[in-house]
Amino acid sequence: MDNMMTVAASLISHETRRIETAGQNLANVATPGYKRQIAFDDVLAAGLSGTVPGSAALTRPPTGIATDFSAGKLVHTGNPLDLSIGGTGFFEVMTADGPAYTRLGAFQRDADGRLVTSQGWALQAAGGGDVVLRSNNWQLASDGTLIDDGSPSAVIRVATFVDPTQLRRGADGLFHAADAQAIDSEQPHITQGFIESSNVSVGNDMMQMMDAMRRVESGQKLVHAYDDMVGTVLQRLGDM
C-alpha cells in the first residue's frame, strides 16, 4: 500500500508542476518576446512521440522546466527602435550583473543616445560596447549594421549558443548565460519596426492544463482509496 501512496504523491507533484507551468504561459500570452515553459515530463513525451513542432528548440535546465525557444510571430509596430531577429539568436544587453540575452527588441533611446531596454540596459555591439545613435539621421541594415549620418558606426550583436540548455531564465524576458559561451551569429538578420510576440499557444496550454487537472484528480482518488484501505485494516485489527 505504501507504493500506492508513492505513486499518488508523484503523480500529484508532477501534474501540479504542469498546471503551474501552463498557467505561467497563459498569463504571458500577450507578453512580447516571452518564451513558453514546458514541464520536462511533457518534453520527454514529445520527444518519444516526435509530435511536437520545434522540439529541437526545447532546452532543459536542472529544475525540470524546459524553455521553448522557437520564434513567435512578428508584430508590426512601425517604431524604428523596435527590432526583431530572424531565425535563431539573441540581442545582448549589459545589465548590472553582466551580459544578458533577450529576443525582445523593444528599445528606447536614452539621453546619451544609447539604445536601451525599458529597464535601462544598453544594447551591445559586436566586439563590445553600447550601441549609440549619435544623430537623428540613421538607419539599420538587415545584417545589424548601424548607418549613422551616412557612416557605419556599429554592428548590433546577435549572439547564439552551441548549448542553449545552459541559459538561465531571469526577469523581464532576459536569459543569463551562466557557463554557456555566446558566439556571434554568422548571418544575422534584423528587421526594424517589428517586435516578436510570445510563442505561447493558448489552445495547447489549455489542453495541457485540463489534462494535468484530470491526472491530479486521479492522484487524489488514489489517496482517498489508500485512506479507506488503511481505515478498514485498522478497524479489523481493532475488532480482533
204-228 pLDDT, tens digit per residue, is 887 877 776 776 676 666 666 666 6
Predicted confidence band of residue 52 (pLDDT cuts 50, 70, 90): very low
If one compares 56 and 21, the residue with the highest pLDDT of the two is: 21
CA dihedral (144, 145, 150, 153) positive or negative: positive
Q: How far apart are the first and last CA of the chain?
A: 21
Q: What is the pLDDT of residue 207?
A: 80
Percent of the chain residues topping a pLDDT of 70 = 72
Model confidence, pTM: 0.75
Q: What b/e string do you get for 209-219 counting C-beta neighbours within 10 Å, with b at 16 or more?
A: beebeebbeeb
Please give the backbone phi and psi of residue 193, each rounded to the nearest 5 degrees, phi first: 80, 10
pLDDT average, residue stretch 68-89: 94
pLDDT value at 122 more than 60:
yes
CB 22 within 8 A of CB 209: yes
Q: Return the DSSP state at 119.
A: T
- Taking only the tens place, the pLDDT of each residue in 133-183 is 999 999 999 999 999 999 999 999 999 998 887 899 988 889 999 878 899
Report the distance separating Cα 203 and Cα 27, nearest Å. 13
Q: Which of 47, 98, 94 is nearest to 68 (CA)?
A: 47
Report pLDDT for 7: 63
Where residue 20 falls among pLDDT bands split at 50, 70, 90? confident
Query: Is residue 201 scored above 50 in pLDDT?
Result: yes
More confident residue, 105 or 57: 105
User: What HEC string does 31-78 produce?
Assistant: CCCCCCEEEHHHHHHHHHHCCCCCHHHEECCCCCEEEECCCCCEEECC
Residue 214: HSE in the Cβ half-sphere, 13 Å Cα cutoff:
5
Average pLDDT, the chain: 82
